[in-house]
Amino acid sequence: MDASLGIPQDYGRKRGLVLQSEAGELVSVGENPDGKDVRLTPAAAGAWVDMRDGAFEAGITLVPISGFRSVARQTEIIRAKLEAGLAIDDILMAVAAPGYSEHHTGRAIDIGAPGEPPLTELFAETPAFSWLEAHAPDYGFTLSFARDNPYGIAYEPWHWCFRPE
């Protein structure tokens, strides 16, 4: 972990988070609304496509917002927030410390819905979220950061991680 970010050395232990390995092989699952390629591991990508198609058959459109994120990119995100004047404790409520993000694994995907602002709690009020709550586990995806989760991460109804049994 980059000490210059001011992240406490006991961050992972206190939050109950474990270090995440960066994914090796990644495949594209399409572009996000900004035109950036979203990549996941092959297994997570296959499950995502099946889940997206299942939702579509039910009249729900799921949009990939982000997938794999390297440790280096996570560091850049936090550094930019620090440079914008945010305090590290506030940042770490919304962004996992480098090395601890599920996005490093290539199994986490942030999901949105057409016409909805991405990465906000408002996603929890959409039909897309209701469908995910009911059906995402059938595809191996779980909501990582529910309201009042024990990890000290803000509620993220858009963040789902592929965890097959």
Instruction: Flag whether 1 is in a domain.
Output: no
Q: What average pLDDT does this structure show over 155-163?
A: 98
Instruction: Flag whether 12 is in a domain.
Output: no
Give me the number of domains the chain comprises. Answer: 1
Both tokens of 66, joined, read 């982000």
Instruction: Flag whether 120 is in a domain.
Output: yes
Tens of pLDDT, residue by residue over 28-79, are 999 999 999 999 999 999 999 999 999 999 999 999 999 999 999 999 999 9
**Residue 117 lies in domain:** 17-162
Both tokens of 150, joined, read 């024990």
Instruction: Flag whether 145 is in a domain.
Output: yes
Binned at pLDDT 50, 70 and 90, residue 1 comes out as: low
DSSP 104: G
- Domain at 145, CATH number: 3.30.1380.10
pTM of the model: 0.94
The H-or-E segment that residue 63 falls in is: strand 63-66
Look at residue 78 in the predicted model and tell me its pLDDT.
Answer: 97
- Residue 58, number of CB atoms within 10 A of its CB: 11
Instruction: Flag whether 11 is in a domain.
Output: no
